[in-house]
Amino acid sequence: MVDLNPINLGPKLPNPVVYNYEDIQDGSGLTTFYALVSTTSAGESYFLVNDSSMRSDPIGQKFAGITTSQTLFTAAFTVLMSSARYVEGTAMCNIPFGLNGTSAAPKLEVKWTFIHLASNGTTETILGTVTSQELSGNAINAESDGTLFIDVTGTKFARGESIRCKVELKSVITGGGTLNNIEIGHDPSNRTTGFSIISNTQIQFKIPMRIDV
């Protein structure tokens, strides 16, 4: 005999939310991105990637014979959000750079600007900016990891919007002298081949983010 009274299994439950480990580890929610540059016939493109095994091309940037204060290198590393994320807390970065100077007068510094990029790909909202201490090298090689911090108030990144990290390398020359060899790294794989100063070429950004439920 067929039972015409089906068993009530209760209300249908929503699909479970799946988290990446980084979203819940120790409550920190820090997601690590690495700076990568891709060089093609159309020029250079800059990205943020989660995979540290990626190979950046070229390994880094080099400059020589700098005698004036100027911006030597600017790159806006970007990652597209495939799902909505909420960013709040202390964002951190590590930007390796190094120099060799003819005296202690010429110096070098890096600046990091943390940006919320709208889905149109052009509208930028600056969430914070910070500049490192000045690095000087008196006829010797000097290296810095350029560890910087930015406190971010609650900001929602909707799907289709992007996190952008702008990096600027600047010479600071106020009392003469020359910056001979200047290097900045941006290789997720942290290779040192071709560098004479910096031993770390891995630019990292640690962004405090979570998924809203």
Q: What is the pLDDT of residues 141-168, one digit of tens each?
A: 899 988 999 999 989 999 999 999 999 9
Confidence of residue 24 (pLDDT cuts 50, 70, 90): very low
Enter the tokens of residue 133: 């201490």
User: Measuring CA to CA, which residue among 63, 131, 146 is closest to residue 100?
Assistant: 63
Q: How much is the average pLDDT of 181-205?
A: 90
Q: Please give the CATH topology (third level) of the domain spanning 28-210.
A: Jelly Rolls (2.60.120)
Residue 66: DSSP 8-state: B
11 cis-preceded (ω within 30 degrees of 0): no
User: Measuring CA to CA, which residue among 103, 37, 33 is closest to residue 67?
Assistant: 103
**How do the domains of the chain map onto residue ranges?**
28-210
Percent of the chain with pLDDT over 90: 58
Residue range 85-117, pLDDT digits in tens: 899 999 999 999 999 988 888 999 999 999 999
Higher pLDDT, 206 or 17: 206
Is residue 25's pLDDT more than 50?
no
pTM of this prediction? 0.83
How far the first Cα of the chain sits from its last, in Å, is 46
Residue range 72-87, pLDDT digits in tens: 999 999 999 998 989 9
Rounded CA separation 121/96 (Å) = 28
Tell me, what's the pLDDT at 104? Answer: 83
